[in-house]
Amino acid sequence: PLHHHPPPPHPPSLTRRCVKSHTRRPAVAQNKGPRLEGRNGEVWRRYLSGWTQERIAAEHGITQSRVSRIIAEVRESIPEEDRQAVATTVIERLDRVVAEATAILERDHPVVHQGRIVHDIVEYVRDEDGNISIGEDGNPLAAKVARLVDDSPKLQALDRILKADDARRRLLGLDAPRQTELSGTVTTTTVEPELLARLRERNARLVDPGDPGGTGD
């Protein structure tokens, strides 16, 4: 009689190769595409929508350095062609920030106290001898007054421009050995030296608010 013999099993090496190939495929699939799931995706989308890293960190209860790492990780996971589009979008947003801040720099802002504009005397009433006339309340009489100008909005706008320019330089790779090429026009903003000096003076006063000269002594 004829005996039926079952086919021989697969060689052990072939079986192991098949198992390994099946176990590797999910891992490869997980590494493809941008990492936009979970918290990382929320951080990235908020970053693109214009949130500052400080605000994102407060929203998620993490440090700003962690936010920076998440943004860098997501950016690295995005394909190069998509990364160029993202960079262009961010630069357009930075350009809008600079344009709005520049508009603030170009106009004066009065000092307001308790809902009223504060004025200062620029010319006093004087008597025949040239002495300043004093009113019944004991204060000098004003012949001409002018609104006090508040430089704080301009200094804040200047600070925002400097930060936006710094972010744009890092995004374009101007401070790195490798420069990223982007299509479009990059706006350059010129800052007056006097405004820079005022910003430094304000920062010095923040160190010691009780020192009018900002020397910290």
136-182 pLDDT, tens digit per residue, is 888 888 888 888 888 889 999 998 888 888 877 777 666 544 444 55
Nearest 5°: the CA angle 53, 184, 84 is: 55
- Cα separation, 207 vs 216, in Å, equals 7
- Residue 113 pLDDT exceeds 80: yes
Q: What is the mean pLDDT of residues 46-52?
A: 79
Closest listed residue to residue 141, CA positions, set 154, 123, 156, 124: 124
| Token pair in block for residue 138 | 């004991």
| Token pair in block for residue 12 | 């052990």
| Token pair in block for residue 166 | 């710094």
The whole-model pTM stands at 0.43
Note the pLDDT of residue 71. 86
